[in-house]
Amino acid sequence: MTRPFPPSFSVISGVQVKDVVGSHEVEITKVVEAAYRLHGEGRTLNPDSYFLRFPDIPSARIIALPASAAGDVDAHGLKWISSFPSNLAAGLPRASAVLILNDTSTGYPFACLEGSIISAVRTAASAALAAREMSLRRGGRPRSVGFFGTGLIARYVHTYLAANGFTFDEIGVYDRSPAYAQGFREYLEQTEDRITVHDDPENLVRSADLIVFATTAGTPHVADPVWFDHSPVVLHVSLRDLSPEVILAAWNLTDDVEHCMKAGTSLHLTEQRTGNRDFVAGALPTFLSEPIPCPNDRAAIFSPFGLGVLDLAVGRYVHDQVARAGELHVVPGFFEDLKRHG
pLDDT at 2 over 70: no
What is the domain-level CATH number for residue 58? Answer: 3.30.1780.10
Q: Residue 4 pLDDT more than 70?
A: no
| Cα(160)–Cα(69) distance, integer angstroms | 24
Give the angle subtended at the CA of 148 by the CAs of 146 and 151, to the nearest 5°. Answer: 115
Task: Indicate whether 230 belongs to any domain.
Answer: yes
pLDDT digits (tens, 9 = 90+) for 290-310: 999 999 999 999 999 989 999
| Average pLDDT over every residue of 127-138 | 96
Average pLDDT over residues 63-68: 96
226 contacts 250 by C-beta, under 8 angstroms? no
β-strand pairing of 170-174 with 195-197: parallel
Tell whether 295 and 322 lie within a shared domain. Answer: no
| Predicted local distance difference test score (pLDDT) of residue 5 | 67
Q: Which of 54-63, 87-96, 186-195, 275-284 has the lowest mean pLDDT?
A: 87-96
Instruction: State whether 222 and 297 are in the same domain.
Output: yes
Q: Is residue 229 part of a domain?
A: yes
Given a cut of 80, whether residue 340 has pLDDT beyond it is: no
Q: Which of 270, 264, 301, 307 is nearest to 285 (CA)?
A: 307
- Confidence band, pLDDT 50/70/90 cuts, at residue 1: very low
Quote the pLDDT of residue 94: 86
What pTM was computed for the model? 0.93
* Residue 323 domain flag: yes
d(CA 54, CA 46): 25
The string of pLDDT tens digits covering residues 255-275 is: 999 999 998 999 999 999 999
Residue 74 and residue 140: Cα distance in Å, rounded? 36
Does 337 reside within a domain?
A: no
Mean pLDDT taken over the chain: 94
Query: Are 164 and 110 part of one and the same domain?
Result: no
Same domain, 112 and 131: no
Does some domain include residue 3? no
Q: Output the furthest CA–CA distance in the chain (Å, rounded).
A: 71
Residues 146 and 177 in one domain: yes
* 244 in a structural domain: yes
Pairing of strands 10-12, 329-330: antiparallel
Based on the fold, state whether residues 63 and 150 are members of the same structural domain: no
254 and 139 in a common domain? yes
One domain, residues 154 and 275: yes
Q: Among residues 125, 123, 165, 157, which one has the least CA distance to residue 141?
A: 165
3 pLDDT exceeds 50?
no
5 lies in a domain? no
Q: For the chain, what is the domain count?
A: 2
User: In this model, does residue 7 exceed pLDDT 80?
Assistant: no
- CA dist 192 and 168 (Å) reads 8
CATH of residue 137: 3.40.50.720
Q: What is the mean pLDDT of residues 66-82?
A: 96
Question: Residue 161: which of 199, 208, 114 has the closest Cα?
Answer: 208
- Does residue 2 belong to any structural domain of this protein? no
- 152 with 113, same domain: the answer is no
Cα distance between residue 220 and residue 213, in whole Å? 11
Percent with pLDDT over 70 in the chain: 98
Checking if the pLDDT of 98 tops 70, the result is yes
What is the span of the domain harbouring residue 222? Answer: 127-303
Residue 89: what pLDDT? 86
Same domain, 147 and 259: yes
187 and 270 belong to one structural domain: yes
Same domain for 284 and 192, yes or no, is: yes
The confidence score (pLDDT) of residue 166 equals 96
- pLDDT at position 216, please? 87
- Yes or no: say if 211 and 233 are a contact pair by the CB < 8 Å rule: yes
Environment class of residue 86 by beta-carbon count within 10 Å: exposed (0-12), middle (13-18) or buried (19+)?
A: exposed
